[in-house]
Amino acid sequence: MPITAIIGSQWGDEGKGKITDYLAERAKVVSRSQGGNNAGHTVIVDDKTYKLHLLPSGILRSDVLSLIGNGVVIDPEVLLNELKQLGTKRGELMISERAHIIMPYHKLLDGAEESSRGTATVGTTGRGIGPCYGDKVLRFGIRVGDLIEPQILKEKIEANVERSNAMLKYYTKNAELESEEIFEEAKKWGEALKDMIGDTSLILKNKIDEGNEILLEGAQGVHIDLDYGTYPYTTSSNPTTAGLALGSGISPLEIKNVVGVVKAYLTRVGSGPFPGELDNEEAEMIREKGNEYGTTTGRPRRCGWLDLVMLKLSQRICGFTSLAVTKLDVLAGMEEVKICVAYETPDGRIEEMPASINRIENCTPIYEVFEGWPDMNKEEWKEAIENDSLPEQLETYLKFISEYMGTRIGIISLGPERNETIIR
């Protein structure tokens, strides 16, 4: 039985939540592998909207086992709140004992470190993601398993609070976090979560051996990947196929399908280079019609046309076996639509994404221009989706993407609802 990884191919916010939810219908297990509550997934089921930040999208299905893997960073307060909101309307959840905990000092340090960057801020979500991954790499981190070992937890918190206070003092001059208070709080998290803590890698392996269908749900997108994104304007994890395998604790060879989720246009939140960023009526139209405001922070997203140079890099790193193209309905009714196929730079035309921020900032997109497809009323779209008979301009647009990428398009999404989807 196959394991499918779902990956954001752009700067995040491609509509992965909907695709995961859709594919979770067949899956028995959905696992999150990286990131934390910097992510935001909106899933609409039976006209009810759920905004999830940390829980896997599969949690909304009662017959699906949801896993939070070792590569995720967890803010226990957020996790407990999301669980509370769902009440009993959810499937089972297990959390890796190896996943790291976002502590109160991580959130304070996130803000303090951002401020210290002056005008060169990353534009983080302020959720403590970077400082938590930083402590993991420095080997100061507190893991989920520590929450249920009070003596170890106490010692680690004491040492970390002392260190964090010193750093906060360096940045802000006034920091006095109390380790005892934090320890008492953390013990409560352990109490509340203890029945859900386990070896999710082993659970996953057993589920694989039993022949279950499994989804690895990516968060964020390849172009804010710590290694292959527009560093340092990136997140602190690896939202790639390899990152998902590691962050869920399985062999990369187990992954048979890799679905690259591609939004029909580009958006970016936070800072960092964006060749071809639009600042005109078209951007305004896309932002409003596509509701391009951050699920996590509410920030308006920066908008632009689809960029295949970016996607080619995503394909190289992730090995997509198919693409899911989302939000095509947002572009309906536009006179023309554009796709970036190369960049003009001071050193001439290039077709590969440079690593240097400086070089990316000097890239001007070269576009192919396509005739737009007509907008239709709800009934007409419904019929077109049911019969898989899309406007020919839209088919031309999709064919171009598929041929350029050398990858078939397996899912076409024309709206937020489950039934606004075509599977090919």
Q: List, by residue number, the catalytic residues.
A: 13, 41, 136
Half-sphere exposure of 32 (CA within 13 A, CB side): 30
Residues between 138 and 177 that touch ligand IMP (CB under 6 A): none
Based on CB atoms, which residue is closest to ligand IMP, 66 or 237?
Answer: 237
Check binding of 57 to ligand IMP (CB under 6 A). no
Can you tell me which of 9, 12, 255, 414 binds ligand IMP, judged by CB under 6 A? 12
CB atoms within 10 A of CB 117: 13
Residue 29 to residues 46, 217, 302, 364: CA-CA distances in angstroms? Answer: 22, 10, 34, 43
Does an H or E element contain 395, and which? helix 392-405
Check binding of 122 to ligand IMP (CB under 6 A). yes
Q: Smallest Cα–Cα separation from 1: which of 216, 256, 331, 232?
A: 256
* Residue 224: CB minimum distance to ligand IMP, A: 5
Asked if residue 39 belongs to a known ligand binding site, the reply is yes
For residues 234 to 253, the per-residue mask of contacts with ligand IMP, x marking binding by CB under 6 A and - elsewhere, is -xx-----------------
Concatenated DSSP letters for 267-283? EE-SSS--TT-B-SHHH
What span, in angstroms and rounded, lies between the C-alpha atoms of 184 and 154? 9
For residues 203 to 232, the per-residue mask of contacts with ligand IMP, x marking binding by CB under 6 A and - elsewhere, is ----------------xx---x--------
What is the chain's Cα-based Rg? Answer: 22
Can you tell me which of 32, 98, 106, 127 binds ligand IMP, judged by CB under 6 A? 127
Check binding of 13 to ligand IMP (CB under 6 A). yes
Based on CB atoms, which residue is closest to ligand IMP, 133 or 189?
Answer: 133
Check binding of 270 to ligand IMP (CB under 6 A). yes
With contact defined as beta carbons under 8 Å apart, do 263 and 331 qualify? no
Q: What are phi and psi of 337, to 5 degrees?
A: -125, 150
Q: What is the contact surface with ligand IMP in residues (CB under 6 A)?
A: 11-13, 38-40, 122-125, 127, 129-130, 219-220, 224, 235-236, 269-270
Task: List the binding residues for GTP.
Answer: 12-18, 40-42, 301, 327-329, 413-415
